[in-house]
Amino acid sequence: MIFGMDLGVKKYPPQRAARTAQASGEAALEELLPLHKRVHHGLTALMERRAFPDGLVLLEGPIAAYFGVSRVPVRKALADLAERGVIRKFRGRGYLVDPEKRNPAPLRLAFQTLDLPARPTGDFGSQRKYEWQRVYDGIAEDVAQCLLFGTYQIREAGLCERYGISRTVVREVLGRLMTRGIIDKDRRSHWICGPFTAKATSEQYQMRMILEPAALRECAEAGGLPDVERMIARLDEVRSRGSASSSTGMSELEDDLHGAMFQSCVNGRLKASILQNQLALSVNQTFYRHFGVSAGEPMFDEHRRILILIASREIDRALTALVGHLEAARDRAQARLKVLAVIEEPDLPPFLERTH
């Protein structure tokens, strides 16, 4: 009621308002994720609720039909899950669900006979959205190659030619990359990327030290923490591979603690801000690609300690350990920047033009 006028604004009970805010926040966060990550999260959620029996054979086609997408993002999502050890390849076609490493016999069931929730409400598969999602990962990977080596202008025409897409789709992808803080525009409205500097690294880690503990506390107080035991098992699996660990495996571990951990956070803006301040992780990924993963990588112990504290519901100690980990990770990232600075610039796609 304003100046005697009823504006017709609906008032909801606090619990309903919280659920509405959470749904809105989750939708906003999903908008920032590439399609294969959304499928990955959807499959992970199904596995955590034990919707898939051990030994179930997962095939691209039925999963694509369930999420309403093509097989391309499903293929990548399955490969990521296999990298994490949740599913595995076997002699037959597809992947075998085997999270406990019990080597069960293949179980072939029609996907529609499983007790699954209704198809996800998120707009996974609209053609309008899918076109940009089809090329998002490739463009993001191309751009990430140059972030540490200088400033580059991104030519829209070159992207159109390289990926066979329209300028409308190119601008959709670039706009989303800018939302995530990966690229920017200069004074002439040219798309530019890089360089990612020690100062930018420090600023992003400072933001993460504020945002991530707040999100972790909110999730813990709301009882919305994910299956931390599985995260610990994934970490131990990657660690056991030692120097054979890949940058992809390390990226998935980072996503566990610094992404999936906050999925139940009600504050959508908080979650989106966390996502927008993770560019510094590209320093480590570039370092791993060039030098491999050391079996003594400090991240393993730091992550494991935090996850164990969360599993034990010692949240205050987990928050302290999280901040300590981010401080140590910041120092490592800055040291690695100096090492990467002497590496020869990689061969870059022609749509990237170095300016200085």
Q: Which residues contact 125 (CB under 8 A, 6 or more apart)?
A: 67, 68, 69
Q: What is the mean pLDDT of residues 41-66?
A: 87
Amino acid code (one letter) for 29: L
Least confident of 107-121, 194-208, 328-342: 107-121
**Lowest mean per-residue pLDDT among 37-46, 123-132, 137-146, 189-198:** 123-132
Dihedral of CA 73/75/81/84: which sign?
negative
- Ordered strands of the 87-89 beta sheet: 57-58, 95-97, 87-89
Whether the pLDDT of residue 220 is over 50: the answer is: yes
Q: Residue 21: its pLDDT value, please?
A: 44
**Separation between Cα atoms, residue 204 and residue 276, nearest integer Å:** 9
Q: Residues 322, 41, 241, 50: is their CA dihedral positive or negative? A: positive
User: Quick one: 15 exposed, middle or buried, by C-beta within 10 A (0-12, 13-18, 19+)?
Assistant: exposed
| Cα distances (Å, whole numbers) of residue 343 to 105, 209, 286, 290 | 48, 30, 11, 9
Treating both helix axes as pointing N-terminal to C-terminal, what angle do 298-311 and 228-240 enclose, rounded to 10 degrees?
160
Strands (E), the chain: 57-58, 87-89, 95-97, 152-154, 184-185, 191-193, 352-354
User: Does residue 129 carry a pLDDT above 70?
Assistant: no
Of the pLDDT bands very low, low, confident and very high (cuts 50, 70, 90), residue 130 is low
Question: Using an 8 Å Cβ cutoff, are 253 and 85 in contact?
Answer: no
Share of the chain above pLDDT 70, in %: 86
**Bigger pLDDT: 322 vs 197:** 322
247 CB-side CA count, 13 A: 13
> Binning pLDDT at 50, 70 and 90, where does residue 119 land?
low
Q: Where are the alpha helices (DSSP H) in 7-126?
A: 14-31, 35-48, 60-67, 71-83
DSSP helix/strand/coil, 78: helix
Q: How confident is residue 132, by pLDDT bands cut at 50, 70 and 90?
A: confident
| Phi/psi at 185 (5° precision) | -125, 145
244-277 tens-digit pLDDT: 677 777 888 998 999 889 988 889 899 889 888 8
Which domains does the chain show, CATH number per domain? 29-111 (1.10.10.10), 127-195 (1.10.10.10), 198-340 (1.20.120.530)
Q: Record the tokens describing residue 130, joined without a space.
A: 């899918």
* Mean pLDDT calculated for residue range 338-351: 85
Residue labelled with tokens 């749904």: 23
Question: In which element (H, E) is residue 168 found?
Answer: helix 167-179
Whether pLDDT at 10 is above 60: no
Which of 219-239 are b and which e, b meaning 16 or more Cβ less than 10 Å from the residue's Cβ? bbeeeebbbbebbbbbbebbb
* Mean pLDDT over each residue of the chain, to the nearest integer: 82
Q: What is the pLDDT of residue 1?
A: 36
Lowest mean per-residue pLDDT among 100-114, 128-142, 324-338: 128-142
CB-CB contact of 34 with 136 (8 Å): yes
Q: Which two tokens stand for residue 275?
A: 């996502």
